[in-house]
Structure 1
Amino acid sequence: MSTIYLVRHGQASFGTDNYDRLSATGREQARQLGKYFAELGERIDRIYSGSLRRQTETAELIGEAFADGAPPIAIEPAFDEYDSDLILHTFAQSLTPEQLAEAGWPELRTDRRKFQFFLERAARAWVEAQIEAETMTPWRGFHGRIVSAIENIMRTEGRSKTLIVSTSGGVIGTLVANVMGLSNHTGIELNWAVHNASITRLIYSAEKVSLSMFNGLPHLDRADMRQLITYR
């Protein structure tokens, strides 16, 4: 059997001019995650990462925790998160001025609760193919890209491997739903539950792939670390 640890990146810089970088909290989350993996005493054969900065920073900080040398990092853009900005703006264009005003668009980016509610509405519309834009990857393309990438890793890495994939909540939710045979809607809804720097574990062989942990925080869920537990 082989293991893939899907890890969500540490907290990004929500509400700043560059979301795609780790916050100070996000960097500490990633360091603690790396420390956890290093102390497991389990050989990590490779770390895969999406190409987004918050994903690669997380992968690098995990690797730095290994005193005997960091596992090699392979960049795989297939594990990039969906383009939430494009989805939000495309969804906003489908609404009336009155609906936009009620939602608080576009100022809602400074309000986490309003932003999350609007993003959930936009993501549902995306999954249901109710919105589209020339440069926007449709849901079926996003889903297919991720599933193909994870299947390629399982096929090419060989037996008895332990791998880490540094990615994002939407990717993790989509993969979990696919493994469990759940609906696309469930996959995107799982996204909202995924904590920053959490661990989701897949176990696979040539015959099957199974989920053995979802959204775990063994490195943070203790009294002296719980202040580091975040969703966004």
Structure 2
Amino acid sequence: MSTIYLVRHGQASFGTDNYDRLSATGREQIRHLAAYFAELGERIDRIYSGSLSRQTETAQIIAAAFGDSAPPIAIEHAFDEYDSDVILHTFAKSLTPEQLAEAGWPELRADRRKFQFFLERAARAWVEAQIEAEEMTSWRGFHGRITGAMESIMRNEGRSKTLIVSTSGGVIGTLVAHLMGLSNHVGIELNWAVHNASITRLIYNADKVSLSMFNGLPHLDRAELRSLITYR
């Protein structure tokens, strides 16, 4: 049997001029996660990471915790998160001025609740192919890219491997829904549930893939660290 740990990156810098970087809280979350992996005493053969800065920084912090036995990092663009800005702007173009004003567009990032509600509406429209734009990857393309990359890794890495994939909530939700035979809607809904710096564990062999942990936070499950548990 082989193991893949799907890791969501640490908290990104929401509300700043550059979302795609770990916040101070995000780096602290990942340092605890990295220590957890190192203390397991389990050999990590390779870390795959999406190419986004928050994903690669997460991978680098985890690898560094292993010191001289640090696993190599392979960048895999297929594990990049969907482009939420493109989806949001494309969805906004489908609404009337009255609907946009009611939603609070475009000043949504000042209110996390309003932003999340608008993002959920936009994501549903994306999944249902109700919106499209030349610069926007379709849901079908996103789903196929992720599942194809995962199947390729499992096939090429061989037996008895332990791997980490540093990625994002949308990727993890999509993979879990695909593995469980659930609908695309469930995949995007799972996205909203995935904590920063959480672990989702897959066990696989040549015959099947099984989910053995979803959205776990064993490295933060102590009273003095629970303030580090975040979704965004």
* TM-score, normalising length: structure 1: 0.99
How many equivalent pairs are there? 232
Cα distance in 2 between the residues matched to 1:165 and 1:72:
12
**1:14 maps to amino acid:** F
1:48-102 deviations in Å (ceiling 9; x for gaps) = 0000000000000011111333110000000000000000000000000000000
**2:58 maps to amino acid:** T
Cα distance in 2 between the residues matched to 1:42 and 1:57:
21
Local SS of the residue matching 2:68: coil
Cα distance in 1 between the residues matched to 2:7 and 2:103:
32
Cα distance in 2 between the residues matched to 1:205 and 1:27:
33
% of aligned pairs identical? 87
In the alignment, does 2:223 pair up with 1:219? no
Gaps of 5+ in 1: none
In the alignment, does 2:94 pair up with 1:94? yes
For residue 110 of structure 1, report the CA deviation from its aligned partner.
1.3
For residue 111 of structure 1, report the CA deviation from its aligned partner.
0.8
Cα distance in 1 between the residues matched to 2:187 and 2:17:
29
Cα distance in 2 between the residues matched to 1:110 and 1:154:
41
Residue correspondence of structure 1 range 11-160 to structure 2 within 5 A: 11-160=11-160
**1:85 maps to amino acid:** D
For residue 11 of structure 1, report the CA deviation from its aligned partner.
0.1
**2:112 maps to amino acid:** R
Local SS of the residue matching 1:56: helix
Gaps of 5+ in 2: none
**1:56 maps to amino acid:** T
For residue 215 of structure 1, report the CA deviation from its aligned partner.
0.1
1:171-198 deviations in Å (ceiling 9; x for gaps) = 0000000000000000000000000000
Aligned to 1:197: 197
- List structure 1 runs of 4+ shifted beyond 6 angstroms: none
* TM-score, normalising length: structure 2: 0.99
Cα distance in 1 between the residues matched to 2:164 and 2:86:
28
Local SS of the residue matching 1:60: helix
Cα distance in 1 between the residues matched to 2:227 and 2:114:
23
Cα distance in 2 between the residues matched to 1:5 and 1:58:
13
**2:150 maps to amino acid:** I
Aligned to 2:180: 180
Local SS of the residue matching 2:22: coil
Cα distance in 1 between the residues matched to 2:106 and 2:10:
25
Over aligned residue pairs, what C-alpha RMSD do you find? Answer: 0.5
1:99-120 deviations in Å (ceiling 9; x for gaps) = 0000000111111110000000
For residue 221 of structure 1, report the CA deviation from its aligned partner.
1.4
**2:68 maps to amino acid:** D
Cα distance in 2 between the residues matched to 1:68 and 1:176:
33
